[in-house]
Structure 1
């Protein structure tokens, strides 16, 4: 068994592969639409991610632990819904001009008109509120579901890229229950999910080394679904581990 010092050193070396380039880009004033996301969208700062903890310590907010557990258990109990094809990213730019785009330093592969046509021809069924809330106003009515924060426990499902990416958020919100290695595992999964998310997006990021997954084609959709399934499979044991840590902190909890 590794000592705490060895575990800490291994954790720091592991997460530095993401943290160091991010901090260097930030010092240069550069933005990266793929790699910076986990440090800008989520509230866990690089220094917090780098700080290793052994896990198992009491959590100061048991109500948070209970809520996160309920969400994770509800999500795990559902079959994965695959085949959303990452259309949430397309709905986030629907009917926007280049200047209005969140990542407006990068062009749309199909241009604004072609992008809008894909959205209008597709069956969009995003179940994740924190993706849906970033839709443009004209795109909201095109989503078959209308998720809200209040319906999150009823809607989350284990095939969703964003639900699986959010395992990183739950892992650090459960700290110090969760060991640093599990937080890093969830971060690594989230980084890989973000890669697919942006490869399947309407943006052309090939110049950054991210060849597109053209979900407007049958071949692109097949690739997306295959990779989405693989990411969902990787998320399953991480979600189970987080549930176990919650159960340890809430021994009175019994599944209904």
Structure 2
């Protein structure tokens, strides 16, 4: 086991806290003022990890911390002769999670990057809704309700991600070429999907405290950038928040979206591989 003295691990912990505070603090300030942000609040409201949990630094399994009394009380840790670390017993208990994530991540990794969805999942989520029903009804639809509905009807909707598909309106569901379900994610997930890229953050924090928090933060930053693309291509007009729309209903907008989609797939690939390697390392240790 590698052991970090207090100065070494506190330096890493402080750097991690400063890194994520750039995102956490504005969210907490908005929350205290009851101000909603349809783009940047998503990672804190949709996913289950709380801001305080994101800020908490963990070294990952196999690293011991000297003089780390504040870690002893955390789930999965033990103190042996003054060295605090994640226990092998805790890792062993996570075997089902580790197997499931490995299978999903490898299945996703094995597929080619598919583009051509053009972010229509966000449009299908508001298809034939009244203004009062819209999830982000503080912000207008760029094309209005009728124009938004026409975009959905004039395109092929091909969403492969269940956690996006499940939010489609009832009239939009039959329009989707694919019909993913909650139990068949490994059969549908593909690396070009924006939500599959954002979910790397979810997979990473579910592995806490067994993986280093720097990896979780890397996945968080990717997810945050993807979310901006997701909402720039959405039907809402968010120019008031500084987000220039990607007009996916046009040829130029589609090309812009696909370029960004491919770029995020490239950024996500090494993170997905790192998560696979961590899962395999942990399974071998447990």
TM-score, normalisation: structure 2: 0.86
The one of 85, 91, 102 equivalent to 2:135 is 102
The one of 132, 145, 151 equivalent to 1:112 is 145
The one of 29, 32, 51 equivalent to 1:46 is 51
The one of 9, 22, 29 equivalent to 2:14 is 9
What pairs up with 1:146-225 in 2 under 5 angstroms? 146-225=179-258
Q: Match for residue 25 of structure 2?
A: 20
Hey, which of these two has a bigger chunk of strand by percent? Answer: 2
| Higher RCO (Cα < 8 Å, 6 or more apart) | 1
Q: Match for residue 142 of structure 1?
A: 175
SS of match in other structure, 2:204: helix
Change (3 A) 1:252 1:181: closer
TM-score, normalisation: structure 1: 0.96
Q: Match for residue 67 of structure 1?
A: 100
Q: Match for residue 72 of structure 2?
A: none
Q: Match for residue 29 of structure 1?
A: 34
| 1:109-162 Cα shifts (integer Å, max 9, x gaps) | 000000000000001110000000000000000000000012111100000000
**How many angstroms apart in 2 are the aligned matches of 1:251 and 1:154?**
25
Could you list the runs of 4 or more consecutive aligned residues of structure 1 that deviate by over 4 angstroms after TM superposition? Answer: none
Alignment gaps of 5+ in structure 2: 62-85
Q: How many residues align?
A: 253
Alignment gaps of 5+ in structure 1: none
